[in-house]
Structure formats: structure tokens, C-alpha cells
Structure 1
Amino acid sequence: MQSTYNFWLVAISFAVATLASYTALDLTGRIFLLASARLRHAWRLGGAVALGVGIWSMHFIAMLAFSLPIPLGYDFATTACSLGLAIGASYLALVMTTRARLTALRLLSGGILMGFGIAGMHYTGMAAMDMTPGIHYQPGWFAISLAIAIGASSAALWMARALSNDDARNVFQKRSGAALVMGIAISGMHYAGMAAADFPLGAVCGAANGVNTIWLAAMVSLFTLAILIVTLMLSRFDARTTFLVGAVSKLNGQIIRLATLDSLTGLPNRATLTERVERAIQSSRRERSLFAILFMDLDGFKTINDSLGHSVGDDVLAAFSQRLLQCVRSSDTVARLGGDEFVVLAEHLASREDAGVLAESVLERMRHGIWSDSQPLQVMPSIGIALYPQDGDTVDTLLKHADAAMYEAKRAGRSTYRFFERSMNEAATRTLLIQSALHEALSAGSFTLHFQPKFHGGTDSLVGAEALIRLIDSKLGTLPPLEFIPIAERSGQIVQIGYWVVRETCRQIRRWIAEGLPAMKVAVNLSPRQLLQPNLVAEMLAIVQAEGVPCQQIMFEITETVAMQDAPKTIEMIREFQANGFEIAIDDFGTGYSSLAYLQRFRVKQLKIDRFFTNGLDEHGAEGSAIVSAIIALAHSLEMDVVAEGVETESQLDILKSMQCDEMQGFLLGKPLSANDFGDLLKHRTVAA
């Protein structure tokens, strides 16, 4: 018999197939993200009902679009059976798609089973027509319909899994396109199956009941659309709820992390360390055991931070924290208190010596360790150690005492460790007092300059002076540079103090000239922190010019060790100073690198022999004399003058004169004098021309 189709019902069936396909893709993404096995099972069952009804409705509406010259109808029980097959096939699809792994074998097996399920649903629905004589199916089209069903099912499984990530880019557009392709495939299977059906002439439909086809199609369509839309809305609502719950959970995790961990290094912060030390105190008190606090900060870190920037400083801190974790035991707690301060809590120690071994191990591995990041570590720690219970029984006391021991390690030469001793409390208290005095010194006028005279090696005439700063505090008295300069260097106050020294030196030179005294060349020391200032030469030049003093009256002294830290930069700075009329001297020569290649490139005016070698003239006899003689000969070969520091005995003076040392200074020749006393010296002492 000749068959016809209702175009509008065909279009509705295609729309239902496409919507059902999109629902399948959306549900797959939802189910795949669920953590609970029970929830996944519940969503599979509910989703299978919705999908089964959607796919079955597509076929049923498409069957209603089909008409023959005879009345048609459908047996209820058989139609219900076809619906059951659709739901079963949908459940199978969801189970296969939401497994942990979708292998090629599982994909093929699932596609075959689901394809047979959909085909079974279609042909069971056809059987519900109860045709007499029965429907004859053409083998070719029948096989094509099965192939389409299996291919469409396999493609559906693959696309559902591929598009299961709700967070993927343009996921809605991708799922919509995939749903359209799947809708075409499902519809294609149905109409291929219908093409396979051959209805004999004179056949009668035993299930014809006279129900209005258009009305039935409309009811089924609306009911199905309602089920699919509600399912999609529930899926989206649940996804939104899950997203919000996840966001809140993530936020809580971040809050906990911020409260307990350092944001830069990921190490425990001060609050977490305090809690762990308190637990360690309680545990050690019960077990009568020993633990140690290793307090450390990074030598030279402030120099890196100031010269290279905070981003580089942060990289150094992060690298150091990771290396420190590799240097200690797995049971130790490594925390960052802030800045460049780190603490190691080492519990369950057998003796005091174990803490020393741990500190030495950290220092040794930091010096010579080969690290996976292959980055040179530009800093080393100084470590202070406090032990429980002998050095304190509270967190604050232990940290304070370990901090005091750390500063003692810095005073001992840095990159070493020290155990806390009771005398360190006094030193720490004095350090705090000096820091307070420095804070007010410039504004309060607490600084003063002394001038140590320098004499010609051959004629004993006065050739200049070295400016030495003193701090006079109402509580602490007069402080020498060696006591407060390192503290000012660490705090960064040394930069402004250095500018004050140059300004005050220039003013004093002008006062001497105003009194009719000879103009003296005065040497001023430059600190490591000052040398890092990018505009140092310009600032010094501005100060000297503002005070009306010729640049030739000022000589800047740079220690050999500092000069060699960045020799190319030092050379550039020396050239800039010299271009503006200043002279440069290398101080403490022989105690640092003593690189002859760079010494030649520096081309400075003077070399100052460190007092260690001057003392060696008496203590080491011929060997000491040989070293000093070699330094003087080297300097003269490079056309540099030589100044010997720390001349304190007549024998030293005689030896230096015999070696033709150009200039000398020391307590034997003249102690540091106030500006007025140095003026009196100028009046009564021969001054070199």
C-alpha cells in the first residue's frame, strides 16, 4: 500500500529527537561530575526515564505522522513494551558514558547493545499496529536501519563523553551541534526502518481505534517536551548548586590556607608555627624530651631586594624555602615568619649537639647543594638556636632567644650558627636601644665627626684625614662606628647617614678654610648599601657642589670585598666618580678577593693595607714584611699610592718607611680628633703641599 507522511509531525519528531540528544549530553556532564555513587545511580535512573521517553516519543510521533489508506492504531501493551526498551537503552547509554574509562571496546560494545535496543524499540512499536497480514521487511533497508542505529549509538556515546566537561570552552555551542547531528542520526534510523516496511494490499490494522492522530501526537509531544525540559532544568539547577557548593568549599579552603600558610612559599605561617610549638612544649613536657628552634634570616637579602626588585626577592625566598625543606628532616616543621625570616622546629632530639648538627647540615647543603632548579642561590642564612626547656618554656621566649642567637651569628661573621646564651639578651637589648637611637639621630643632631690624620711616609707631614662618624646618645653615650654601622646597614638608614657624613665633611672643610687653615683632602667610607643606590654619584656631586667644596677635596673609600661583589659595576661607578673629579681608594686591601686583573682595571688613587698586615710586621717577622712589601710594590707598579692602616708601634713605622709606603695612619701617629682638635693640629703641624 502507498504510505504518506504529515510534514509537521515529522518536523516535531525531529525536534524531539534533537532535544532528547541535548538532554543526553547535558546529563552525561552532570552525572560524570557527581562524587557520590548513590547520586550517580539516581541520576542515571531518572535520566534514563527522561531520555527513554524522549527517544520513544520521537519514534511514536514519527509513527503518527505515517498514514496508510486504512485506519491505523497501536496496541497499548506492545507500545508500552517499546517504551520500556527505549528506557533500557537510555540507561545503558548513561552507564557506559559515565564510567571512569570509555575504552574503544566498551564504546563498540555499548554502541551495539544500545543500537539493538533502539532498533528493538522501533520494530516493537511497528508490531503494535497488529497488521493482518503482517508487515514484510526488505532485508537491505532493515540492515541499513540496524547499521544506522549502532553507528548513531556509538557516536552518541563518544560525543557525550567528549563533551562531558561543563567548564570546557563554548560547551553549549558544541553540545547543540552534536545534538543536531545525533537528532539527524536517530531520525535517519527511524525512517530507514520505515522504508524497510512493506504493507501488503488489503492489509487491516487490528489496533485501529479511531483516536484522532493529530490530537494524540500533540499530547505526546507536549508531555515529552515537558519531561525533557524539566529534566534539563533540574540538571542545570543541580549543576549550579554543585558549582556554588564547590565555590564555597574552595573559598573556605583558601581562607584556611591564608590563615595557616604563607601565601608566597606555601610554608606554615607564624600562627601555625605558634600552634605547633605549643604542642611540642606540651609533648616534650610529658615525655621529658628536647626540641630546638632554629631561627634564621638571609644574609644579603635586603641588598638583593633593593637592587633587583621585590619580584626577584620573592623568587629568592620561594627558592630558599623549597631548598630548606630538602635540608631538614621530614619530621621537622619549616615556617616563614615574614620577610626573610624562617624558623625550623626540630622535635625529638637526643641532645644539644643534634641541633648543631642539623644547623651545620643546613649551612653545608646551602653552600654546596646541587638543586633541581639549577638556579644559583645568592644568599646564605645565619642561624640562631634555642632549646627547650633550658632556653625558655613559652613560644615567645623561645623565638626571642633564637632570634638573639641569630644576631650573634651575624656578628660572628654571618653564614654560621650560634646557640643562645644568657648574655645575648643584653646584646639584643642593646641592639634595640641602638636602633631606637639611630631612628632619632639625624633629626636630633646626635651624630658627630672625628678625623683621623694621615701622614706622609717620608716627611711625616700631614697629608689628609679620614672622616669617622660617632653616635652620641644621652642613654648609651658615645658609640663607635663598629657598633652602630652594621645595624644601620641592615635597616637601610646607612644611606641617609652616608649623605650626612659627606655634607658635614664638606662643611668642616669650609670652616677650616675660613679660619685660614690649609684645605685638607678627607676620605669618606662608602657602605655596601650606598653602592647599590643608582644615583649615588649624582647625589654626592650635588652635595659637594651645594656646599661649595671642590670635588678634589673628597676621596671615597670602598672595601675590596664590596668592590669585587660586582666588579664590572664597581668599575663603572669608579669611572663616574673620577669623571666628576673625585678620587677613589680601595680599603682593607688583601682581606678579600685580591684579583690583580680587576685591581688593574679599577685604576684607583690609593690602596689601603688592612691593619691585619700592618700588625703582621711585628707578629710574623720576615713573612709579614714580605707580604706588605709585595703589596706596596704591586701598588706602585700600577701607579697607586699606598696607605698603611693601624700603625701602632715604632717598629711598624720604621719598616713601612723603609718600604717607601706613601702614607700612614694609626694611633701611634694620631688618634681620631674632633673637628676643633684637628683644626689645632693643622695650625701646628707641617702640611704636605
Structure 2
Amino acid sequence: MTGTYDLRIVLISLLIAGLASYTALSLTSRLALLADRRQRLLWLTGGAIALGTGIWCMHFVGMLAFSLPIEIGYDLLMTAASLLIAIAASGIALHVASNSVLGMRRLVASGVVMGAGIATMHYLGMDAMRMFPPIRFNPWLFLLSAFIAVAASIAAMWIAHALRAAGTHGLQRKRLAASIIMALAVTGMHYTGMAAASFAPDTVCLAANGLDNAGLGMAAAAITLTLLTITLVLSMLDQRYDSSTRELKGSLLRISSALRRLETVDPLTELPNRSTLLNHVALCLARARPRGRQLAVLFMDLDGFKTINDSLGHSVGDGMLKAFAQRLRQCVRPNDMVARLGGDEFVIVLENLDGAEFPGQMATQILEAMRQDLLIDGTALRVTPSIGIAMFPGDADTVDGLIKNADIAMYSAKQNGRNTYRHYEPAMGEQAMRLLLLQQGLQEALTHDTLTLHFQPKFDGATQRLTGAEALIRWNHPTLGIVPPSEFIPISERSGQIIEIGYWVVRHVCRQLREWERQGMPDLVIAVNLSPKQLAHPDIVEGMHAITREAGISPRRIIFEITESVAMDNARMTGEVIRAFHRVGFEVAIDDFGTGYSSLAYLQQFRVQQLKIDRFFTNGLDTHGEEGEAIVSAIVALAHSLKMQVVAEGVETESQMRKLRDLSCDQVQGYLLARPLPSDEFERFVRAQQQQPDAPGLS
């Protein structure tokens, strides 16, 4: 008896085999990602049921494609047993393929077990028809089908294991191709097994009254297709959820790593930051103490960095810090730490010193290296550090003590000319304490408005009538007493407080001028000094103009004095600032003329309104005789040729006054005529001048 095949149903069986194979590969990837044993067992059980049912269904749909000229049915128990065998074989395959390690011996052994299970399922399913006489099998084709089952199982598990990683490149295409190969292998085994069977002409099916062939096949196909599709969709959705979760975890890990890096590394220079530095110094101390070794901390601050940062912009300032950090790394040994505390402050930690003189040698090497220009965005700039050195155990034996004392030594280096280094000395601590008191006191003085202004009168050189005054700041510290400007002004320069102090001076000058106006006093011109930091500040002109505008005072009532050395330090910038002051109505004077460059070209470029002769030349009128007079005469002639007035300061003797009058000096000021006076005394001085019309007075 011979049977025939329905090609359409054969294709359906192939489709079921392909879908089952693809589901198996997807489940293998899902199982490989699960770490929780409970979840893994749940998915393994569900996957085994879905895959086993798919293979079993493919078998029965394939049986449905085969037609015999007799009525066919299936034994219920034997059919159920074949399904259970398929599920068990599928469970073994999924478990083996999803493991992280799959050796050759394990692969072959598992493949034999799975192949035997599939073959058993197939032949038990055929035997469920309970044919009489029994089905005869061609032994060669029977063995070939068993071999195909084992080989297909080994290949399927190897492919599933190879494609279990969700990140494999071109994963979906590879899975699809692998599914087609596996489906062809499974169906090939089935139809080879069917080809091995032969039926006698008088064969009858003893299970014809059992499970109906067509009904069972179509129901099984529908149920299996639905089950496989649901399992596949759930696996893909769950895998996508896991993938999103992994991506989120990865992002969180990257963010966490970046945050940890920010906690330990300065983002601009990529040097260790303050926290890392403190921990490192603590470790170095812990290593140095028991061994009796020395340790050095070099604290450095860039000279003039704030001026560069304010005048050229923060991008140039940041570029300079990065370039400085890079060059600093090149100066130290591989095991030395270079860290950035913040701003323009850097610290080097030196362990395993070759001698007590080694830190000084390192500081010298750094100073030499920094004499070469740094290239920032195509611009060559030079910046030098002031360096302070503190050593363990001689200078301090704690982390804070070493860094604090190195900082104190660095300030000493700044006070001694900058671009140098200093070793810490105990006496520096007292200076540092005073420095700290003054710096804190200045801030409190600004906050509580406890600074004061004195006014030193200025007079006409010919008539000695009052023409104006110079505003001079004074400070009476609550515990230190009178602090001279020569001490606290440099401190405010270094701390940056000079900008706020400068605005405070102009604000109070304007307030005083308004008060004098209300009292009917004459319109006086007040001179105000500008420091280098103020001159370099990008908003200095607008800031000063805003103060006078708000106070209702004409800019013509204020003249700003810039020392010659400061003006010539950056002549291009100075010229721009002077022209900006002129545009809004302020006048400008060059102070201490004759002590700096005294460049005629720059004087012509600046076009200031006044030149102030330094007190050295005024004093020279008495001490240097004709030579002193010749110098002052030349300055006066130069200024008048450029349409500038000349002011002589430091006039202390009658002979100086007489000679300045003879030389046509425009204005004079000094102790001979009047000392600096508090605002109320200056007011009385002006009123006294007004009440003596025949005496020298107001002009």
C-alpha cells in the first residue's frame, strides 16, 4: 500500500518547523540574559512547552499531508506520550544552548539525547496509528532519519548557542537564515522517517476510532501556531524591555562613572582636584611617617592671570590654564602628583625626595620652563607662577598644615617680586595671619561701609587758588588700627577686592559732590586713582559712568589718575580705556610722570588732560639745583606742547613753590599748601577759602 503527499500541507509543516526554530533561537537569547534562577526556570519550562509542541505539531501536520487509501486515527495515550517526549527534548536543547559555555563533548552528548528524543517522538507518533500488520521500516532509511535527527539537534544547539548574544551584528538576519536551515533539517528527518515506512496492501488502522487524523492535525497546527507566535512575541517584548533596562543601566553607569570622575578630576585641566589631592597627601604622609622619609608640597599661583582672564576673555584664560597644566606635567617625575585646587592655583606633591634641596630644584625647573611662551589659540602668552614650598616633617605633619604653610610661602613669594619661590618659615605665619585679617576686614569694611575718604586740595600754580582735590582712601581696622593704603591696596589687588573698592570710592565721591552742591559749595574737580586691576577690568568705564549717571554728577567733575608704569604696561589696552573714558565725558591724568617709560609717542596717542610730576622731581628742585629745574622745565614744556596741564605733587617748601610758579606749572599739591583732610574738615577748608577773598582761594 502506497501513500501520497499534499504539497500545501507539507509547506505548512515546513512553516511550523521554521517558526518553532526561530522561537527556539529567540528563547535561547532570552534565557542567556536571565540571571534569576526562578525566572530562568519559568522561561525554560514555557519555552520547552512551546518549542516541543511546535516540533510535535510539525510531525502531525506532516502526517496529515500523507494520505493512505484507508481510514486513519491515532491512539490518545501514545500521541500524548509523543508530545511529552518532544517537550522534554526541547527543554534539554534550550537549557544546553543557553549556557555561557558549551564544550564539544557536552554538545555531542546533548545532541544525541535530543535527536533520540525527536526520533522517538516521530516513530512513537507513527506507531500511535496502530497499523496491522505493523509498519515495516527500511533499516538504512531508519538509521538515516535517526542520524539526521541527531545531526540536526547538534547543529541547532550550536547555532542557538552562537546566536544567543543579543548584541550580535545582523542578529535578525542570522536567526532567520538559521531557522530555515533548522526547519529543513527537522522536516528532512520527518520525511526521511516517513520514506522508511512501508505498509502492507491489506493494512488496517486499529486506532481508526481514536483521534481523527484531519481534525487533530488542523487543531494542533492552529493551536501550535498561536502558541509559538504568542511565545515569540512575549520573548521579543521581554527581551526589548530587558534591552531598554540594560541600556538604562548602562547610561546610569556611564553617568555614575562621569560623576565619580568629576569628584576626583578637574574637568578643565584633567588634573586631580582638591579632594583627590587631599587623599593623596594623606596616603603620602602615611607612607612617609614609618619610614622617616621627607615629603614636599609645592603650592603655586599664576602671576597676573586675572588680568589676562579679564582683558582677553575666559576662553583665553581657560586655554592658558590647560596649557600651563600640560607644561607642569612635563616638569615633574612620573610618580609626582600635579593637582589643580581651583582658579589659577596648582599643587605638586613630591615623594621619595633625593634630598632637602630637591623641591627648590624642582621649583627652579618649573620657573625656567614657564619662561617660554604658551600658545593659546594662536596667541603667544607668557605667565609665571609664584611658588611656596612646605616640607614634612620640618614645616608641618598634617595634610591641612602642609597645604596651608605652602600657601603662606607662596604669598611670601608674591610679596617678594613674584616669579620666584620661597620655603616656608614660621615668621611667615604671622604675616599670613595679618594678611588674612586684612583681607577679611576689607570685605567687612565694604559690607558695613566703614572705609573713609580724605581729600587733598589742589591749587592753581600761579594764584594758589583752590582748583579741586585728590580723593585718598583711608581705613581704620577695628583691631589693627590705622592700616596704610600702601599695605591694604596691594592685598585688595591680589584678592580682586580692588574693583569693588574702586566703585565704592567713586560712589562716595559722587555722594560728597552732591552734598557740597546742596550746601552751595563751588564745582570742584576730584581726582580718583585707578589701579592696574581696575584698568584691565572689562566693565570699568561703563561701571564708573553708571555710578555718576545714577548720582546725577557730570563726568567732567571727576578725573581718573593712571600711573605711568601701569599705563605703559599694556599701552594698547590703556589707549582703548582712555578713549572710552573720554567718550563718556571723563578726563584722565598720567600720574607719577617721569618714573616710567616717558614715551612721547604714547603720550600723543593717549591724549590725556594732565601730567602729574612725581614728587621725586619736585624734591629735585631743591636737591639737584639747575639740573632738577631743567628736568621739570622739560616736562612742563612737553606737556604744554601737547596741550596738557601739569600738576606737581609733593610740594613741601617755599622754594619748590616759587620755582614751579616760575616754570609755569599749572597746578600744585602738597603738605606746604594742605594735607589730606577728612570730608568735614575739607568742607570747612573750602568755606574758609571762600570767606577770604584777598587770600589764595577758589578758582
Partner Cα separation in structure 1 for residue 239 and residue 603 of structure 2: 77
Q: Does 1:65 align with 2:67?
A: no
Residues 548 and 555, structure 2, Cα contact 8 Å, conserved in 1: yes
Classify 1:477/1:122 alpha carbon distance in 2 versus 1 (closer, same or farther; 3 Å): same
Q: Which residue is equivalent to 2:352? A: 348
Q: Is the 8 A contact 1:327 1:362 kept in 2?
A: yes
1:487 is matched with 491
**Shift in Å, 1:3:** 1.1
Listed as ranges, the matches of 1:462-541 within 5 Å are 464-506=468-510, 508=512, 519-531=523-535, 536-541=540-545
Q: Aligned equivalents of 2:354 and 2:673: distance in 1? A: 56
How many Å separate the matches in 2 of 1:209 and 1:560? 123
Q: Which residue of 2 aligns with 1:389?
A: 393
How many equivalent pairs are there?
650
CA displacement 1:106-144 (0-9 Å, x = unmatched) = xxxxxxx9xx99xx99998999789756899xxxxxxxx
Shift of 1:277: 3.0
Q: 1:200 to 1:155 in 2, by over 3 A?
A: closer
SS at match of 1:414: coil
- Quote the Cα distance in structure 1 between the aligned partners of 2:345 and 2:650: 37
In structure 2, the residue matched to 1:110 is: none
Distance 1:176 1:620, change over 3 A: farther
Partner of 2:427: 423
Structure 2 matches for 1:198-597, cutoff 5 A? 214=216, 267-302=271-306, 320-368=324-372, 380-442=384-446, 446-454=450-458, 464-506=468-510, 508=512, 519-531=523-535, 536-541=540-545, 543-544=547-548, 549-559=553-563, 570-587=574-591
CA distance in 1, matches of 2:251, 2:286: 38
In the alignment, the residues of structure 2 paired with residue 433 and residue 387 of structure 1 have an alpha-carbon distance, to the nearest angstrom, of: 25
Equivalent positions of 1:81-100 (< 5 A) are: none
Alignment of 1:534-683 (within 5 A): 536-541=540-545, 543-544=547-548, 549-559=553-563, 570-587=574-591, 600-608=604-612, 638-643=642-647, 672-675=676-679, 676=681, 680=685, 683=689
User: How far, CA to CA, are the matches of 1:88 and 1:621 in structure 2?
Assistant: 115
| Equivalent residue number for residue 104 of structure 1 | none
Q: 1:89 to 1:260 in 2, by over 3 A?
A: closer
Counterpart-to-counterpart distance in 2, 1:58 and 1:598: 96
Give the structure 2 partner of residue 2 of structure 1.
4
- Deviations along 1:8-39, whole A, 9 cap, x unmatched? 655433321222233355567x49xx9xxxx9
Q: Which of residues 4, 12, 17 is equivalent to 1:13?
A: 17
Whose Rg is larger? 2
Structure 1 residue identity aligned to 2:586? F
Check conservation: 1:25, 1:163, Cα contact below 8 A: no
Partner secondary structure for residue 368 of structure 1: coil
CA contact (8 A) 2:409 2:424 kept: yes
Residues 609-650 of structure 1: CA deviation (Å, up to 9, x unaligned): 666888899999999999989877765665444556667899
Assess if the C-alpha contact under 8 Å between 2:374 and 2:380 holds in 1. Answer: no
Deviations 1:488-507 (A, max 9, x none): 34444434432332244345
Change (3 A) 1:263 1:91: same
Give, as a single letter, the amino acid of the residue that structure 1 aligns with 2:412: E
Contact 2:589 2:608 in 1 (8 A): yes
Q: Which residue of 2 aligns with 1:144?
A: none
Name the SS of the counterpart of 1:66 in structure 2.
helix
Question: C-alpha distance in 1, partners of 2:53/2:200?
Answer: 24
In 1, distance between residues paired with 2:624 and 2:161?
A: 91
- Residues 1:435 and 1:199: Cα distance change in structure 2 (over 3 Å): closer
Unaligned runs of 5+ in 2: 127-134, 142-151
Q: CA RMSD in A?
A: 6.5
Deviation readout 1:285-341 (Å, 9 max, x if unpaired): 444333222223344455577778888876765665454333332222233444544
Aligned-pair distance for 1:368? 1.8
Distance 1:549 1:16, change over 3 A: closer
Q: What is the deviation of 1:602? A: 3.1
CA-to-partner distance for each residue in 1:87-106, whole Å, 9 max, x for gaps?
Answer: 8999799999x99xxxxxxx
Structure 2 Cα separation of the partners of residues 619 and 291 of structure 1: 55
1:192-203 superposed matches below 5 A: none
Per-residue CA distance 1:197-233 (angstroms, 9 max, x = gap): 9959976799x99796747967998999999899989
8 Å contact 1:464–1:520 — kept in the other structure?
yes
Point out the more displaced range, 445-454 or 427-436: 445-454
The percentage of aligned residue pairs carrying the same residue is 43
Query: Is the CA contact (8 Å cut-off) linking 2:24 and 2:94 kept in structure 1?
Result: no
- What amino acid is aligned across from residue 65 of structure 1 in structure 2? V
**Alpha-carbon distance in 1 for matches of 2:31, 2:618:** 88
- The verdict on how the C-alpha distance between 1:559 and 1:47 changes in structure 2, with shifts beyond 3 A counting, is farther
Query: Once structures 1 and 2 are overlaid, which stretch shifts more, 154-163 or 7-16?
Result: 154-163
Q: Which residue of 2 aligns with 1:164?
A: 168
Q: Is residue 363–residue 381 contact of structure 1 (8 Å, CA) maintained in 2?
A: yes
List runs of 5+ in structure 1 lacking aligned partners: 100-112, 137-147, 166-173
| CA shift in 2, pair 1:7/1:158, >3 Å | closer
Quickly say closer, same or farther: Cα 1:264–1:538, change in 2 above 3 A.
closer
1:348 counterpart SS class: coil
CA distance in 2, matches of 1:621, 1:186: 116
Q: TM-score, normalised by structure 1?
A: 0.68
Q: Secondary structure at the match of 2:422?
A: strand
8 Å Cα contact 1:551/1:580 also seen in 2? yes
SS at match of 2:67: coil
Residues 62-71 or 351-360, more deviating: 62-71
